[in-house]
Amino acid sequence: MSTADAALARPKAPPAVVISWLALALMTTSSVASLRPAPTMAVYGLAAVFLYLVPAIVFLLPTSLVAAELASGWEGGIYKWVAAGISKPMGFLAVWCQFAMTIFYYPTLLGFVASTLAYVFNPALASNGVWTALVIVVFYWSGVFVSSRGTKGVSGLASGGLIIGTLIPGAFLVILGAVFLGQGNPSAAPMTAANFFPEWAGLASLVLIVNNFLSYSGMEMNAVHVSSLKNPAKEYPRSIFLAMGLVLLIFILPALAISWIVPAEELSLTAGVMQAFDAVLAQFGMQGLTPIIGIMLVAASLGGMLTWLAGPSKGLLLISREEGYLPPFLQKLNKKGVQQNLLVVQGLVTTVIALGYALIPDVSSAYWIFSVITTQVYLIMYLLMFIAAIRLRRNDPDHPRGYRAPMLIGLAGVGFAASLAALLVGFIPPSQFGGENPAVYFLIVGGGALGLGLLVPFLFYRFRKPSWKQPEQTNQAGGAAP
């Protein structure tokens, strides 16, 4: 065989996966943007623009650029970053918080699904706590059943979520809102320059901004694709700035459209999107489309839930098998290689949380409290990530990185300060809860966030045993976590 023939016969290495900066921008937009926060911010009218821009500058931008540098230098996600920058125990705390936040995130997400479905069947159910709790329990356990069977067919639904459940209904809402104003109808919220800044009525009047930090969270998950860009140093910032623009448009314009149509005092934090669609469609005699819009929103939400249900738990599982952080019962896999026991235990806790919707008279209050707890737990992870980034830049500056964030220490400092401020502000009841007991609110949020985010992982770490390590079985877990 000639040299040329031998070269042809030799198996070729698979080509490196290359994605464009535009594709990465759309992926980031899809994973971050959603219509769910729109009614939360619509109560501020034009001030919603200001309240979205501030966290975008002090949180979204630092998070994106810092995570990009970490992802391009250290493979393995948040655990590897924090373990290398701080310590392995802190790495476990970070990956635990990334998992634990989903325990509160899914009741919040499915609370939105319940209120949206109510507009398909009976709008009066939107404020019914028993209905909300029932939907959360049924849909969550259905998701656990699907995930435990290793089903991958739901990925198509989730990948189309940006178009089906966000772009189309969001654009439709904005267009009809503009037509509504064009017909001479007055805006429910004043749209003058004087209304750009929110009214200051004490610190509690700005507490809703905390929810925007959760709206912008998740950028660190897409940073793993930095190495797939042709020129990360130039293309990643370009991708991030485009994604930021798209995310801001998706968040701001529907929120404004809702404020044009629905008076703030009539808004429910969970059902506001459907209220807006129902109200504006009624203006045009097209109320029959309301159930269709509701189904589109529900389909996108459920697709996202099914796709991410096992992801964070798989990441926690793999690290726990290597280091022995969780007892063998929680590390057990079913015949499909899925961490079924961990999902079931997570589901039991989620079921208990879902009962909060049935026990708390005001569904909007329950929705808000669980949203804050979700944010608090996730912010603990971000605090650790920013600290790890600063330490790695100072202690290991020559470590190869595919992308180096400009002024990383300053960016991480701003992100850390913003995350810490948001975490602390989250313990203050918003102005809408003026009649409630602040101490009760503090105990609920503090117990949920600090108990689940700090106490539980401390107990797992404190009582771990050498026999809990199962590194030889790690590869049976189905690969790395997303």
Q: What is the pLDDT of residues 213-237, one digit of tens each?
A: 777 887 776 666 777 788 877 787 7
Note the pLDDT of residue 149. 65
Q: Which residue has the higher pLDDT, 25 or 462?
A: 462
Residue with tokens 């600290």: 387
Out of 200-204, 262-266, 446-450, the most confident range is: 446-450
Mean pLDDT taken over the chain: 79
**Kind plus residue range of the DSSP H or E element containing 252:** helix 232-261
For residue 270 the two structure tokens come to: 């969970």
Q: Are 401 and 72 in contact (CB under 8 A)?
A: yes
Note the pLDDT of residue 15. 46
CATH of domain 21-218+234-464: 1.20.1740.10
Q: Which residue has the higher pLDDT, 152 or 324?
A: 324
Q: Are 323 and 88 in contact (CB under 8 A)?
A: yes
Q: What is the mean pLDDT of residues 104-131?
A: 83
Task: Provide the 8-state DSSP code for 14.
Answer: P
Measured between alpha carbons, how far is residue 347 from residues 107, 292, 367 in Å? 10, 29, 18
Distance (Å, whole) CA 161 – CA 35: 11
Distance (Å, whole) CA 139 – CA 374: 19
Q: Are 229 and 78 in contact (CB under 8 A)?
A: no
For residue 86 the two structure tokens come to: 């701080």
Residue partners of 365: CB distance under 8 A and separation at least 6: 433, 436
Q: Are 39 and 214 in contact (CB under 8 A)?
A: no
Query: Which range is least confidently modeled, 76-85, 93-102, 147-156, 467-476?
Result: 147-156
Q: Is the pLDDT of residue 101 over 70?
A: yes
Distance (Å, whole) CA 215 – CA 48: 13
DSSP string, 5-41: HHHHHSPPPPPPP---HHHHHHHHHHHH--STTHHHH
Q: Are 4 and 223 in contact (CB under 8 A)?
A: no
Out of 82-86, 112-116, 224-228, 328-332, the most confident range is: 82-86
Binned at pLDDT 50, 70 and 90, residue 252 comes out as very high
Binned at pLDDT 50, 70 and 90, residue 272 comes out as low
**Kind plus residue range of the DSSP H or E element containing 119:** helix 88-121
Residue partners of 67: CB distance under 8 A and separation at least 6: 219, 220, 223, 385
**Helix, strand, coil tally for the chain in percent (to 5):** 75, 0, 25
Torsion of CA 66, 70, 76, 81, to 10 degrees: -90
Query: Which range is least confidently modeled, 129-133, 158-162, 371-375?
Result: 158-162
DSSP string, 270-334: TTHHHHHHHHHHHHTT-GGGHHHHHHHHHHHHHHHHHHHSSHHHHHHHHHHHHHT-S-HHHH---
Share of the chain above pLDDT 70, in %: 81
Note the pLDDT of residue 383. 96
Helix (H, G, I), strand (E, B) or coil at 307: helix
Distance (Å, whole) CA 102 – CA 106: 6
Question: Model-level pTM?
Answer: 0.79
Binned at pLDDT 50, 70 and 90, residue 45 comes out as confident
Q: Is the pLDDT of residue 475 over 90?
A: no
Q: Are 145 and 309 in contact (CB under 8 A)?
A: no
Q: Is the pLDDT of residue 356 over 60?
A: yes
Note the pLDDT of residue 91. 93
Note the pLDDT of residue 10. 44
Identify the sign of the CA torsion 33, 39, 42, 48: negative
Q: Is the pLDDT of residue 188 over 60?
A: yes
Q: List, for residues 144-165, the tens digit of each pLDDT value.
A: 877 766 545 444 455 566 778 8
Query: Which range is least confidently modeled, 83-87, 272-276, 283-287, 350-354?
Result: 272-276
Q: Is the pLDDT of residue 14 over 80?
A: no
CA 323 to chain CA centroid, nearest Å:
27
Q: What is the mean pLDDT of residues 67-91?
A: 88
Note the pLDDT of residue 159. 56
Note the pLDDT of residue 468. 85
